[in-house]
Structure 1
Amino acid sequence: MHVALFRQHALRLVHALVAAIALVGLQAHAGSDKISGGGKNVSGKTSYAYYVTGNPELTPVIRKKPSSPSTVLMGGDSDVDAAFRWMIDRAGITQSSGGRFVIIRATGADGYNCYVYYSNYPTCTSTGTAQPGSVGGAALGLSSVETLVIPSPDAANDAKVNEIVGRANVIWIAGGDQSDYYKNWRGTALEQTLDQARARNVPIGGTSAGMMILPRFDFAALRGSVTSAQALADPFNKYMTIEPQPLAQPGFIVAPGLETAIVDAHLDERDRMGRLMTFMARLVRSDGATGCAGGILSGTANAQDAARAIGLAIQTALLIEGPAGAQTAVRVSNPGAPGTNAAYLLRPSIAPETCVPGSPLTMRGITVRKITDSQPFNFSNWDSLPFKEAQIVNGTLSNFSY
């Protein structure tokens, strides 16, 4: 009897310990990549989730609406607080105006709400001066932060979902898996709503997978990820799902100034320079014996339609503003962030020599501009920026350190 009682108490203790460990793990996970904040799904639907912080019923009165586009490209890992504040400012939101900040994602929950709205993430009680690691959106004038988890085409076509996204003053695309965005959002009403928001100059940004879908050309990861070694060994291997296909078709979500670009995140942390160069090579059209099959852009740097590639280190963001053709950009990163904290701007000087299925890539004269300061620069024309030159020969990136 005593043994049975002991076992019962022991079992309860184990269950309590497992629950405690799970809770700690959930809290740590939520704090690191903004997946779950413990809020309530108020959608009333099973097809999508909707989380609200603040007052979404307040109608913002923004007196100076944005007159040109604003885009944030963020390289993943911990979010860059300054980039979110910049988007709020670019939206024309002030301390007295109100403003709606809407996060869209295909998985996860409401982890961004607390971080963006409050000033003391992850405690989430203060709306005063923002502490490091928090955006402090309420103090800047946000009246609400709203997250939509949109996991299917049905959800992306839902009228209420599109109403919420359509009235946003700022839109953020969370990280995750960009293939989810392609499979569930492409060709839906949500894509049209995002196009309309872009046309109204609503600031739009994304991190990691959310960043990957912002240029005209996207590594969509429809068959999973790809390493630099795999990409360089065969630019047409089965994992190299670059969208749209064919490339001449309209892009998915195309931020102004990224009409000839492809991007990549976690660049230094995951050694992705080789695959980013290969992504760019795939965009270059065939011209005699050079170029890549299916490519549609020029491989000459000074051509108007020259291919471009942009890579971001973790905890680093590129803030791009102004109309296409007359844009400026600035790099920002978290204080003390690990890695290079760099933005990398790539262009070809000449078309690839060997870019065919089943063979290693050979591409010489790749110009790489490494941005590590916080000085604004001409994003539409990179010619004044210093660069290094990289060579890929038979699938090997030679003598190049980044």
Structure 2
Amino acid sequence: MNQRPVLRPAASAAVALLTLAGVLTTAHSAQAAANRIRLGSPTDVDRAAWNGPAFTMNGAGSVVAASMSRAIDAIRGNSGSLDVVVPAGSAPTSGSRTPECDTVMGLAGVNSCTTWTLTKASDGNNTQVNTDVRKAEFVDFAGGDQCRYTGWKGTALETSVESVVAKGGGSGGGSAGHHINSPVVYDACNGSVTSAEAVADPYDSYISFTTGMFDWAHYGGVVNDSHFVTRDRMGRTMAFVARAVEDGLAGGQSAWGVGVEEGGGSLYIDRNGLATLYGEDAYVVLADHRPERAVPGRSLSYSGFKIWHLTPGSTFDFKNRPTCGYYLRSVTNGVPDPNLYNGTPSTCGSRSGTAPTES
């Protein structure tokens, strides 16, 4: 039998931060206080209106320059510049202390980029953090530990991020930052589940969700997943959406999984809900009926998951979700069908916004 750790190191270990120029540092019990590093202009842009919202959903933790550039250009209407804030749940253990901002500052139309390292749930009510976020036009959640991010639910930070999107700015992130931007968040607060474990028991103790945090327009009913093909996460996403339907987490009789591959995979989503894929493949997985079996301690059985395989350059319309262009896969007694990541899609004709036909 596999040995599983009792505690998740990312959630339980204290974070040690170095004192840097331009960083706020104050000891606080076993954890460091909120830390701020700002690159670029010390003064925020002051502008009456913005043209978003726009979103980026990345398969790995780093910023994808192509999709981020498109989001920045959409929000600023290709005119002027804007400010970006990067909330992070922990500081990098090596290399730059501001990896996301290092990339962002190399893009056109950026006035400043501020990294906030927040190690406690209460940091979500930090006054300066929320001032910076509310003045920004894009919030990019760093990779790391989405359980820490869900700890900010109900804090001022949640409301501040929502205000950025509401004024026509944007939100996004990679890996953990991708997870937190879906309305149903696989929070991994009890541990990280594998596909094999999830289909063997969709109520495995390592499967836990947070709902009621961010619910962006046109993106309802979605559970995000990351590092999708490399870490073979199709099976667990199937279990997630089956659970979401069975338990009513998605607010209806269907739930959608959005899995993005690492290595530069990124979905840019515009103000009308149209997503364009950059870099690497992505998958949209639909559960549109209750599972044949999803109960604690038993393996999953679900017939007919609908799967859209997106390749770089293709689009998916989240506002008007397609009813064709998918292939079907099932899980029977905890055993998924073979060839989960490729299939012959149903014919769409000339309908726009659907996944392309595969050769």
Residues 63 and 167 (structure 1), Cα distance of their counterparts in 2 relative to 1, 3 Å cut: closer
Instruction: Give per-residue Cα distances to partners, 1:279-332, cap 9 Å, x unaligned.
Output: 000111xxxxxxx24556444xxxxxx311111011201111124xxx211001
Offset at 1:89? 0.7
* Cα deviation digits, residues 24-47 of structure 1 (max 9, x gap): xxxxxxxxxxxx999634325442
Identical-residue share of aligned pairs (%): 28
Distance in 2 (CA, whole Å) between partners of 1:77 and 1:181 is 14
Flag the 1:38–1:356 CA change in 2: closer, same or farther, 3 A.
Answer: same
Equivalent of 1:111 in 99, 121, 132: 99
Identify if the C-alpha distance between structure 1 residues 115 and 318 changes in structure 2 by more than 3 Å, giving closer, same or farther: same
Given that 1:72 and 1:83 are in contact with CA atoms closer than 8 Å, whether structure 2 keeps it comes out as yes
Specify the alignment match of 1:272 in structure 2. Answer: 233
Amino acid at match of 1:388: Y
Partner of 1:207: 174
Q: Which amino acid aligns with 1:87?
A: A
Return the letter of the residue paired with 1:308.
W
More strand, by proportion: 2
SS of 2:283's equivalent in the other structure is strand
Determine whether 1:92 maps to 2:38. no
Q: What is the one-letter code of the residue matched to 1:54?
A: G
Q: CA offset at residue 70 of structure 1?
A: 1.2
| Aligned pairs for 1:2-401 within 5 A | 40-43=21-24, 45-46=26-27, 47-57=33-43, 59-62=44-47, 65-66=50-51, 68-76=52-60, 78-92=62-76, 94=78, 97-108=80-91, 109-117=97-105, 136-137=106-107, 140-183=108-151, 185-244=152-211, 251-284=212-245, 292-293=246-247, 295=249, 297-299=251-253, 306-314=254-262, 315-323=264-272, 327-333=273-279, 341-383=280-322, 385-401=324-340
C-alpha RMSD of the superposition: 2.2
Scaled by the length of structure 1, what TM-score is found? 0.73
> 1:62 touches 1:93 (CA, 8 Å); kept in 2?
no
Distance in structure 2 (CA, Å) of the matches to 1:268 and 1:394: 23
Looking at structure 2, the residues matched to 294 and 91 of structure 1 have their Cα atoms a distance apart, in angstroms, of: 34
TM-score by length of 2: 0.81
Task: Give the 3-state SS of the residue equivalent to 2:196 in structure 1.
Answer: helix
CA positional deviation for 1:110: 1.7
CA distance in 2, matches of 1:90, 1:37: 36
Select the structure that is richer in helix: 1
The size of the alignment, in residue pairs, is 314
Letter in 2 for 1:82: A
- 2:76 partner SS: coil
Give yes or no for contact 2:23–2:37 (8 Å, CA) kept in 1: yes
Structure showing greater Rg: 1
CA contact (8 A) 1:71 1:321 kept: yes
In structure 2, the gaps of 5 or more residues are 1-16, 28-32, 92-96, 342-359
Cα deviation for residue 350 of structure 1 reads 3.1
- Match of residue 5 from structure 2: none
Q: What's the CA shift string for 1:168-201, capped at 9, x where partnerless?
A: 0111000001111123x12211111112222212
Amino acid at match of 2:176: A
